[in-house]
Amino acid sequence: MSFNKSISTPNGNHAAVEEYPHGPVAKAKKPKVAKHGGLMQLYRASRRPLPHQTGDGTYPEVKTRPTVMQDLSTLTMSDLKTLKAIIIAKLKGEMHADDKTMIMEKTIQLVARLPGSSKRQEKLTNIFIDELWYSLDHPPLLYMGDQFRFRQADGSNNNPLMPKLGAAGTPYSRSCRPGVMPLGAMPDPEAIFEGIMARDKFIKNPNNVSSILWYWATIIIHDLFWTNEKDSNINDSSSYLDLSPLYGHSQEAQNGVRTFKDGMLKPDTFADKRLLGMPPGVCTLLVMFNRFHNHVAANLAAINEANRFAKPPPSLQGDAAAAAWKKYDEELFQTARLVTSGLYINITLVDYVRNIINLNRVDTEWTLDPRQEAGVDVGTAKGSERGKHVDIVRDFGNAAHTRFAAHVFNIPLKTRENPKGVFSEHELYTSLAAVYTTIFLDIDPVESFPLRQKTKETATVLGAAIKTTVKYTKSFGLRLFTGNTNDALSTAGVNAVKALAKSGLSAHDIAWGLILPIAAATVPSEGRLFAQALDWYLSPEGSPYIDDIRTLATQEPTPETDALLLGYAMEGVRMAASGSSLHAVAADTDTIVEDDGRRLNIGQGDRVFASFSSAARDPAQFPTPEAVDPRRPLDAYVQFGAGTHSALGREVAQVALAELFRAVFRKRGLRRAAGPQGELRKVLREGGHCEYLTDNWGRLTSFPMSMKVTWDN
């Protein structure tokens, strides 16, 4: 999975948006970017302050605003004429614009020409969106009854004051008289195709567009227009961009594509039969939207935020159960429909509109984004103060393993003790977690491409920085931007780099072949084990053992107490038994014989998923598996992997796990923070694999990200 927070790159390069020319297609100028991980880039990153502003370890996004003079310098004479026309229209109080003057198109050109992040550009964009929004009434739909909660399949009930406004089956509102120009002898269609559309080789479109633009336009046209065959004044489609080619223009058509189970659509289907006569790309896009809808519906049900999509209890019977399941399906379907339609509209605004107003020909990133206007600031100075709780996953478990790896491998980490470091704890952890996920857990085709793109970006920066520090370490024994510590861990890391260099390995081999893979393989996985074990002991099933663990944690460390404390920690990992799994692609054909004699035939290229969840409760491996026994042999646990996939540094990880348990459980009255923040929110997948929600519940990740706890005093 990919992570909800972007990772700041320490090179700090920015490129100004230049004025674009008129005429031929203008190629975007690529900024001159310095080499990643160079000494000067590391120095600039080390000058950043500690990330205290947001409270979650991330750096706030800071926009560099152009000045008024910089904005004015981008305007042309035609833009000034456009401004003059707008001002005159405002002074005269004109409520409607003459489309023949192209004032809307000229206004868009003016706004798009302004530099990115310009306050004037954002202000004009918001005014433009307001003009479009307030051209129709938008009365509130809350508390109006279920029929107004969601727009109906035919587009009705979008406006409670005028329920049929824009609905299917209502007359067109025409601005000109319809008519057909009579033609004489028509040219042969084959001759037109051969003369205009046929080609022997690829020819790039001079406007930088592909056929997807026309596929998208076809969907929009069929979304908005369906002239009644008997009365040409009637539009059998709604007047809204509600993706009706997929969902249908009527309730009957919508029912034809629904499964009426778990909010799903019938696989790879769409409602509008007219599109079967269109190019295959049009139908392909609708099939993709169909799959996205089902993906959203499945995740809404799995996440079940605030118990909104709770399944009916088994105690319901008969008509009551049928009504409850019908409501469950309807809620999931309509919400997934809203999300899918939102994606459709977002692509239309961001990509399609840019093309039809010719912005793809020029060097500008402006788009008609209705979400950029800030709302009322709900933050307060008092609310920003730390409460009586700690994020035990983000700020303790994950941070401890991140600091350990940075210490051993001399990765320049920015902390209170070393404010001149390069990477914050959040940046380093999320980079390592992204690398781990890409290599071992890239199993979701929906997230695979953005995951690999993000990992490539972050790994390039991190790997280059490590390579630079390795160069200076092996040549001069320097620890760049690490605070010049001379403790045993840091010294061992320096000596290891020197020894590897003497063996003939280059700085690139040491950084990219050893340090980065080892850190990525250990830090996120060990942080996950701690979070899972702690979460289980704070659950009703594990809470009876907390007093025993606290007794051990408060005693003086001895080999016996250390072994028992580690035993409790490993039992917590075993009992949680979620998220631990092996994913691999078979290199060759093979046959796996199960314990019960079943034979699984594996073909070359098959994906193999081995869940450790079942193994953790195997009575043959763990007698009385439902009981917690801290004296079980350590080699019985499979959570660290097996064979070539065995976790690196198993012994070190076990010591760390025991010490983290000692530090946490010595707190009297350890318990979850009140409310959802005290929960390790996770989604259980098939086979025991687990995914976790980020702290803002915006995305799913492979590793725990947040859980807050508190204790007495």
Q: DSSP letters of 245-304?
A: HHH-SSHHHHHHHB-SSTTPBPTT--S-GGGGGS-HHHHHHHHHHHHHHHHHHHHHHHH-
Q: What are phi and psi of 167, to 5 degrees?
A: -80, 160
**Number of domains the chain contains:** 3
Q: Do residues 551 and 643 both lie within one domain?
A: yes
Q: Mean per-residue pLDDT for 488-514?
A: 91
Q: Do residues 658 and 537 both lie within one domain?
A: yes
Residue 186 lies in a domain: no
Between 455 and 699, whose confidence is greater? 455
Q: Do residues 106 and 245 both lie within one domain?
A: no
Distance CA 602, CA 605 (A): 9
Identify the CA nearest to 523 among candidates 425, 612, 611, 441. 425
Count the Cβ atoms, other than its own, within 10 Å of residue 241. Answer: 15
Residue-level pLDDT at 37: 60
Q: Which two tokens stand for residue 366?
A: 């402006």
Residue 427 lies in a domain: yes
Q: Which two tokens stand for residue 538?
A: 């704070």
Query: Which of these ranges, 93-97, 178-182, 249-253, has the smallest mean pLDDT?
Result: 93-97
Q: What percent of the chain has pLDDT over 90?
A: 41
Q: Mean per-residue pLDDT for 104-126?
A: 84
Residue-level pLDDT at 222: 95
Residue-level pLDDT at 154: 85
Q: In the structure, what pLDDT confidence band is assigned to residue 641 with cuts at 50, 70 and 90?
A: low
Q: What b/e readout covers 698-712, taking b as 16+ CB neighbours within 10 angstroms?
A: ebbbbbbbbbbbbee
Residue-level pLDDT at 33: 38
Between 184 and 519, whose confidence is greater? 519
Q: Do residues 398 and 535 both lie within one domain?
A: yes
Q: In the structure, what pLDDT confidence band is assigned to residue 592 with cuts at 50, 70 and 90?
A: confident
Q: Are strands 690-693 and 682-684 parallel, antiparallel or unpaired?
A: antiparallel
Last residue within a domain, chosen from 85, 107, 135: 135
Q: Which two tokens stand for residue 502?
A: 């003497």
Reply yes or no on whether the pLDDT at 61 is more than 90: no
| Helix, coil or strand: residue 130 | helix
Q: In the structure, what pLDDT confidence band is assigned to residue 144 with cuts at 50, 70 and 90?
A: low
Q: Do residues 312 and 441 both lie within one domain?
A: no
Between 708 and 687, whose confidence is greater? 708
Is the whole-model pTM more than 0.85? Answer: no
Query: Which of these ranges, 73-82, 369-378, 448-457, has the smallest mean pLDDT?
Result: 369-378
Distance CA 694, CA 701 (A): 7
Residue 385 lies in a domain: no
Q: Do residues 574 and 666 both lie within one domain?
A: yes
Reply yes or no on whether the pLDDT at 8 is more than 50: no
Q: Do residues 482 and 396 both lie within one domain?
A: yes
Give 371's contacts (C-beta < 8 A, 6+ positions apart).
Answer: none
Q: Do residues 125 and 159 both lie within one domain?
A: no
Query: Which of these ranges, 22-36, 205-219, 276-290, 595-609, has the smallest mean pLDDT?
Result: 22-36
Residue-level pLDDT at 65: 84
Between 648 and 541, whose confidence is greater? 541
Last residue within a domain, chosen from 113, 135, 157: 135
Residue 110 lies in a domain: yes
Q: Mean per-residue pLDDT for 242-253?
A: 94
Q: Do residues 160 and 111 both lie within one domain?
A: no
Residue 4 lies in a domain: no
Residue 611 lies in a domain: no
Between 166 and 137, whose confidence is greater? 166
Identify the CA nearest to 45 among candidates 404, 413, 400. 413
Q: What percent of the chain has pLDDT over 70?
A: 88
Residue-level pLDDT at 353: 85
Q: Do residues 484 and 459 both lie within one domain?
A: yes
Give 285-289's long-range contacts (Cβ < 8 A, gap of 24+).
Answer: 285/212, 285/215, 285/216, 285/219, 286/219, 286/245, 286/246, 289/243, 289/246, 289/340, 289/343, 289/344
Q: Which two tokens stand for residue 267?
A: 């696989």
The mean pLDDT value of the chain amounts to 83
Reply yes or no on whether the pLDDT at 281 is more than 70: yes
Residue 153 lies in a domain: yes
Q: Do residues 214 and 320 both lie within one domain?
A: yes
Q: In the structure, what pLDDT confidence band is assigned to residue 276 with cuts at 50, 70 and 90?
A: very high
Query: Hey, CA dihedral for 233, 234, 237, 239, is it positive or negative?
Result: positive
Q: In the structure, what pLDDT confidence band is assigned to residue 490 with cuts at 50, 70 and 90?
A: confident
Reply yes or no on whether the pLDDT at 3 is more than 50: no
| Helix, coil or strand: residue 393 | helix
Residue-level pLDDT at 485: 66
Q: Do residues 116 and 166 both lie within one domain?
A: no
Query: Hey, CA dihedral for 344, 345, 350, 353, is it positive or negative?
Result: positive
Domain with 128, as residue range(s), is 65-135
Between 269 and 366, whose confidence is greater? 269
Last residue within a domain, chosen from 135, 155, 181: 135
pLDDT digits (tens, 9 = 90+) for 665-682: 999 999 999 988 899 988
Reply yes or no on whether the pLDDT at 330 is more than 80: yes
Residue-level pLDDT at 321: 94
pLDDT digits (tens, 9 = 90+) for 423-452: 999 999 999 999 999 998 888 887 899 999
